[in-house]
Amino acid sequence: MSELEDQFEELEIETLPLDAWHRARGGRMVEFAGYHMPVQYEGIIAEHLWTRKHAGLFDVSHMGQLQLSGEGVDAAVEALLPIDLSTLKLGMQRYSLLLDEDGGTLDDLMVSRWPESLYVVVNGATKWDDIAHLREHLPDEITLNHLDERALLALQGPEAFAALERHVSGEYPLSALIFMRFGKFMLGGAEVSISRSGYTGEDGFEISLPAEAAPRIADLLCGESEVKPIGLGARDSLRLEAGLPLYGHDLGPDTSPIEAGLNFAINKRRRSEGGFLGADRVLDELANGAPRKWVGLTLEGRQAAREGAEVFAGSEKVGVLTSGGFSPSLEKPIAAAYVSAAQAASGTALEIDVRGKRLAATVTTLPFVPHRYHR
């Protein structure tokens, strides 16, 4: 194989276990995070509103599923993440952050306590960098397994529980799961791990399952009247309404978790003890405040503003949009931006420059649409 062919192989877009399933159902496929993924089926607004009212099935198999094990795994992970694993009991999961030495955000992720190991879900676009970072910084006695033979589905919406409950069995009922808890179940003849979590602000579940079982289980769930397949477009509009940051847009190496308003992810014991990568900056910003803040913005009129648009207070540039679009639930444009701390208070009037036109906007307390997690 020539050097050019080698490079092509490295750049080749990968397919997910459900690739043919999406195409057969009319999914419009786009490249995202190195994979072919469905951006929509019948339309972003219709899919968004269906999920808010019923239940949507999202294929998030591009995300990285990792298993960390070995003697001293808790201490090794706590040296990298600002998480308190002493309070993470079996069957619990927690949101956390992978930080660099300067307190910048390399990724946001979920950590779950499995028997004798930790299960970690990282973003698809960053998973290879995350794996390299973890292998570089974790001690040799810690084993990192990339569970690349597993798929990941998210069933989200107020009717997700009813649709899923009909098909699961286990040592305890699905109703025993509350928000940020998980368990092992049988679903469609496969052993799966189900967590009550998601990225839409709605009640819902994330299902880790064998890749070979994904088409069968997707058919099973979408056979329920409450469930339709939903694409990336609605996933993005749903998470923006829910005030949830998207890595690579609202989070990155140039942003700290305190700037992003993720103070809750710095667990209490770690605030006093430190001892994780980036602790100096993070703890300083916790104590003294960050120079800028990630805020929600509600725009006047019907025109939406997009990522990269500049934010002004009068003639002074005070920030830049990281996300923006039209809210199907609220029927008006919304956005998120990093702005100077002095301009971050709810109710502050600002302007967004869109191709030379100033759009009036108001800082709005997040989330735009209230969360409906089952706690």
The domain that holds 307 is classified in CATH as 2.40.30.110
* Average pLDDT of span 213-221: 98
Report percent pLDDT > 70 for the chain: 97
Reported as a pLDDT band with limits 50, 70 and 90, residue 11 is low
Q: What is the DSSP letter of 367?
A: P
Q: Is the pLDDT of residue 94 over 60?
A: yes
The last residue of a domain, from among 289, 323, 346: 289
Please tell me whether residues 295 and 280 are part of one structural domain.
no
What does each C-alpha distance from 112 to 66, 84, 116, 121, 249 come to in angstroms? Answer: 10, 12, 11, 9, 25
CA–CA–CA angle 218, 221, 224 (5° rounding):
140
323 contacts 336 by C-beta, under 8 angstroms:
yes
Averaged pLDDT for residues 230-246: 98
Kindly state whether residues 110 and 249 are assigned to the same domain.
Answer: yes
Output the average pLDDT for the chain: 96
Q: What is the pLDDT of residue 12?
A: 83
Say whether both 308 and 253 belong to one domain. Answer: no
How far is residue 302 from each of residues 46, 108, 130, 322, 326, measured CA to CA in Å?
18, 32, 39, 19, 8
Q: What's the DSSP call for residue 123?
A: -
Work out the average pLDDT over 148-177. Answer: 98
Full domain range(s) for residue 112: 1-289
pLDDT at 1 (0 to 100): 39
* Total of domains in the chain: 2
Write the CATH number for 107. 3.30.1360.120
Nearest to 332 by CA among 244, 252, 237: 237
Shared domain check, 90 and 75 = yes
Q: What is the arithmetic mean of pLDDT over 276-282?
A: 98
Together in a domain, 148 and 295: no
Centroid of chain to Cα 54: 21
- pLDDT tens profile 41-68: 999 999 999 999 999 999 999 999 999 9
The whole-angstrom separation of Cα 352 and Cα 361 is: 7
In this prediction the pTM is 0.95
Q: Is the pLDDT of residue 122 over 60?
A: yes
- Same domain as 362, residue 267: no
pLDDT surpassing 50 at residue 316: yes
Q: Which of 243, 258, 289 is at the close of a domain?
A: 289
| Digit-coded pLDDT (tens) for 334-358 | 999 999 999 999 999 999 999 999 9
User: Among 9-23, 33-47, 170-184, which stretch is predicted with the lowest mean pLDDT?
Assistant: 9-23
- One-letter amino acid of 102: D
Quote the DSSP letter at residue 280: H
**Does one domain contain both 55 and 32?**
yes
Measured CA to CA, the distance from residue 205 to residue 192 in angstroms comes to 12
2 and 94 inside one domain:
yes
Q: In the chain, count H helices and then E strands.
A: 10, 20
Q: Do 304 and 279 share a domain, yes or no?
A: no
β-partners of residue 319 are 311, 339
Kindly state whether residues 299 and 313 are assigned to the same domain: yes
214 and 74 share one domain? yes
What single-letter DSSP state applies at residue 54?
S
8 Å CB contact between 265 and 258: no
Average confidence (pLDDT) over 116-138: 97
CB-count exposure of residue 355 (10 Å: 0-12, 13-18, 19+): exposed
Cis amide leading into 328 (omega within 30): no
Predicted confidence band of residue 110 (pLDDT cuts 50, 70, 90): very high
Amino acid identity of 343?
Answer: Q
Residue 232: its pLDDT value, please? Answer: 97
**Average pLDDT over every residue of 356-374:** 98
Starting at the edge strand found earlier in the chain, the sheet holding 117-122 runs 93-99, 105-114, 117-122, 64-69, 143-146
- Characterize 8-29 residue by residue with b for buried, 16 or more Cβ atoms within 10 angstroms of its Cβ, and e for exposed: eeeeeeeebbbbebbeebebeb
Q: Are 50 and 43 in contact (CB under 8 A)?
A: no
Residue 319 near residue 343, CB atoms below 8 Å: yes
pLDDT of residue 4: 37
Kindly state whether residues 282 and 310 are assigned to the same domain.
no
Tell me: pLDDT of 198 over 90.
yes
The whole-angstrom separation of Cα 247 and Cα 109 is 10
- At which of 248, 268, 289 does a domain end? 289
